[in-house]
């Protein structure tokens, strides 16, 4: 495996001289898209292990072609706004995409659009518009949503309607190999003629269940046979074919498009676990029936988003759109929430979970902002001392743990938890530096007083030690957040402002109305009406607004609702 794993681009952490705000993603994007180069003395990541749904176990990931990865992820059917369950899949595979690029792989990532489907046709007819108009509109909305969630654009985003010829050619091969048959202009796959059927899902063939989105057709040789081509119906889009005018079945599209862009053998095929059967099972059957050498090296599937222990789904109307959520929560908070649960497990959606994610993101960005503000004061200083041993060990340990967790089937839960120690260390250094500066000021005013006491109180580190510690800690956090897609193009201050605006919206407040309550509380405290001031603070905390009294006045920040 080692020879197939390029050295990581990761390790600029040892040369920690970063003081500027590197949140802007041009640098981060360049890092993630550039070939990886190792830095001397930096540990290489362990061999990447991924869970393969076919073998039902974690396996070393060995790409078909050294240094290159072909990955296909099933995309949306664009007839409405995408929901958070869709976001779960595309954030999960974006994390994989980013990590593969970080490891130095050249990744060809394909994510399709099913832009012809029964649901699209039905909705377009209801709206009195064309199928193309409807699907194109919601493709644009989907792309806007995933961009908000910091998902990198795939290499290719093909539409079914652009690949009808590829689909027809594939069906011809399946028929030629006696794995499909024609009935009245429809073409069905024959599961009886394909003994490998159900090898992915491990199901027992149920002759009472159809393997597609339509009811059982009595013309089928086996009820489990599924449509490769559907004969044209009045009022529906159709294309010419050897079997008459019609349109593709649901499953054939991905077999055709994956082969077109990635070949008959490629590395990773992904999607939600609800796609294992029937979609991916049928995809696998179609591809191998046409070209027996067809193979996916690793099948990967993400878990559901559940509401009240039931899968989020449009079909049962228990869903929240991505747009619904990011109206009230910052997109980074939604991405953090989705990554907080391992991609294979189901995640439970709740306002509480989103508030926790939002609070964590605010804490990360506030800490990085405070760190950068202090570093900006020392940017012109030529500091040559090394990073203090304690902080260097924190950085090295974090880097090692990050690589181990990500290389072990993308354990993002552990990765996100791992930032806390570094964030605490940043705040500790900031506090120590403030204390030291205060002591220095006292020293100038009281040069001859309490000399011994000041000596005992003075922190062991000198200011330049704290600066180098902050440089190292901040650079490590920013670098790893960039790999995870949790850094935005916006400055840190802008993200903090956006997080506060979302918090006010959830609380039903404006900046002005909140300021009025803060002033009422200050007046109550000045009049020693502490029960009134406490009640104001408590009511605001119940709305997710925390008040903090500082020497310069009362400030506020978002918080979990009490």
Low-confidence ranges of the chain (pLDDT < 50): 1-40, 207-208, 210-213, 455, 458
For 105, the 3-state DSSP assignment is coil
Q: Are 300 and 53 in contact (CB under 8 A)?
A: yes
Cis bond leading into 55, ω under 30°?
Answer: no
User: Does 158 share its domain with 194?
Assistant: yes
For 305, the 3-state DSSP assignment is strand
Residue 36, pLDDT score: 34
User: Does 389 share its domain with 436?
Assistant: yes
User: Does 286 share its domain with 420?
Assistant: no
CATH number assigned to the domain comprising residue 150: 3.40.50.620
203, burial (CB in 10 Å: exposed 0-12, middle 13-18, buried 19+)? middle
Tokens of 322: 């991505």
Q: Are 73 and 152 in contact (CB under 8 A)?
A: no
- Residue 321 belongs to some domain of the structure: yes
User: Does 63 share its domain with 179?
Assistant: yes
Instruction: Tell me how many helices (H) and strands (E) the chain has.
Output: 18, 15
- Residue 370 belongs to some domain of the structure: yes
Rounded CA gap, 354 and 367, in Å?
Answer: 20
Give the containing element (helix H, strand E) for 300. Answer: strand 295-302
Fill in the DSSP letter of residue 247.
E
Q: Taking the CA of residue 126 as centre, how many other CA atoms within 13 Å lie in the half-sphere pointing to its CB?
A: 9
Residue 66, pLDDT score: 97
Tally the domains of the chain.
2
Rounded CA gap, 252 and 285, in Å?
Answer: 10
Residue from 218, 192, 188, 223 nearest 208 by CA: 223
* Residues in Cβ contact with 146 at an 8 Å cutoff, skipping those fewer than 6 apart: 82, 87, 90, 94, 322
- Residue 184 belongs to some domain of the structure: yes
User: Does 140 share its domain with 272?
Assistant: yes
Range of the domain at 106: 51-328
- Residue 1 belongs to some domain of the structure: no
User: Does 67 share its domain with 150?
Assistant: yes
Residue 449, pLDDT score: 54
User: Does 164 share its domain with 207?
Assistant: yes
User: Does 74 share its domain with 206?
Assistant: yes
User: Does 308 share its domain with 377?
Assistant: no
For 381, the 3-state DSSP assignment is coil
Residue 444, pLDDT score: 61
Residue 315, pLDDT score: 67
User: Does 120 share its domain with 187?
Assistant: yes
pTM: 0.89
Q: How many Cβ atoms from other residues are within 10 Å of residue 365's Cβ?
A: 25
385, burial (CB in 10 Å: exposed 0-12, middle 13-18, buried 19+)? exposed
The sign of the CA dihedral 122, 157, 88, 167 is positive
Residue 454, pLDDT score: 52
User: Does 291 share its domain with 433?
Assistant: no
Rounded CA gap, 464 and 129, in Å?
Answer: 66
């Amino acid at each position: 495996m080692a020879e197939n794993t390029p050295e990581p681009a990761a390790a600029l952490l040892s040369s920690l001289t970063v003081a500027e705000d590197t949140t802007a993603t041009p640098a981060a994007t360049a890092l993630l898209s550039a070939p990886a180069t190792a830095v001397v003395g930096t540990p290489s990541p362990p061999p990447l292990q991924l869970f393969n749904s076919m073998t039902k176990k974690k396996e070393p990931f060995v790409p078909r072609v050294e240094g290159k990865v072909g990955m296909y992820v099933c995309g949306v059917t664009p007839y409405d706004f995408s929901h958070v369950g869709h976001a779960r899949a595309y954030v999960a595979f974006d994390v994989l995409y980013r990590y593969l690029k970080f490891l130095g792989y050249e990744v060809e990532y394909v994510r399709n659009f099913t832009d012809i489907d029964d649901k699209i046709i039905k909705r377009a007819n209801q709206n009195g518009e064309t199928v193309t108009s409807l699907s194109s509109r919601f493709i644009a909305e989907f792309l806007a949503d995933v961009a908000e969630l910091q998902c990198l654009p795939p290499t290719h985003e093909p539409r079914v309607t652009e690949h009808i010829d590829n689909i027809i050619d594939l069906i011809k091969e399946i028929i030629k190999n006696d794995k499909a048959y024609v009935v009245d202009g429809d073409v069905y796959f024959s599961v009886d003629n394909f003994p490998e059927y159900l090898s992915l899902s491990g199901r027992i063939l149920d002759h009472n269940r159809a393997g597609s989105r339509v009811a059982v057709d009595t013309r089928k040789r086996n009820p489990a046979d599924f449509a490769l081509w559907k004969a044209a119906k009045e009022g529906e889009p159709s294309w010419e074919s050897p079997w008459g005018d019609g349109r593709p079945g649901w499953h054939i599209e991905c077999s055709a498009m994956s082969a077109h862009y990635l070949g008959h053998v490629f590395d990773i095929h992904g999607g939600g676990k609800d796609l294992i059967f029937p979609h991916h099972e049928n995809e696998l059957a179609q591809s191998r029936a046409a070209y027996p050498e067809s193979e996916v090296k690793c099948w990967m599937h993400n878990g559901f988003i559940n509401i009240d222990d039931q899968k989020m789904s449009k079909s049962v109307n228990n869903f929240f759109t991505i747009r619904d959520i990011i109206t009230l929560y910052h997109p980074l908070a939604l991405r953090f929430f989705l990554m907080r649960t391992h991609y294979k497990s189901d995640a439970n959606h709740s306002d509480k979970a989103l508030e926790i994610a939002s609070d964590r993101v605010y804490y990360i960005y506030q800490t990085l902002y405070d760190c950068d503000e202090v570093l900006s004061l020392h940017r012109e200083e030529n500091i040559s001392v090394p990073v203090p041993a304690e902080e260097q060990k924190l950085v090295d340990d974090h880097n090692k743990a990050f690589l181990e967790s990500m290389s072990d089937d993308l354990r993002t839960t552990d990765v996100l938890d791992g930032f806390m120690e570094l964030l605490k260390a940043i705040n500790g250094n900031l506090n120590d530096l403030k204390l030291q500066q205060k002591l220095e000021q006292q020293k100038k005013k009281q040069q001859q007083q309490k000399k011994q006491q000041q000596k005992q109180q003075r922190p062991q580190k000198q200011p330049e030690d704290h600066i180098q510690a902050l440089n190292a800690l901040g650079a490590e956090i920013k670098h790893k957040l960039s790999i995870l897609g949790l850094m935005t193009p916006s400055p840190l201050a802008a993200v903090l402002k956006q997080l506060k605006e979302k918090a006010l919206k959830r609380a039903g407040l404006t900046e002005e109305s909140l300021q009025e309550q803060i002033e009422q509380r200050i007046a109550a405290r000045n009049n020693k009406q502490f029960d009134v001031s406490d009640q104001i603070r408590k009511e605001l905390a119940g709305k997710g607004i925390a008040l903090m009294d500082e020497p310069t006045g009362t400030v506020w920040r978002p918080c979990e609702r009490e």
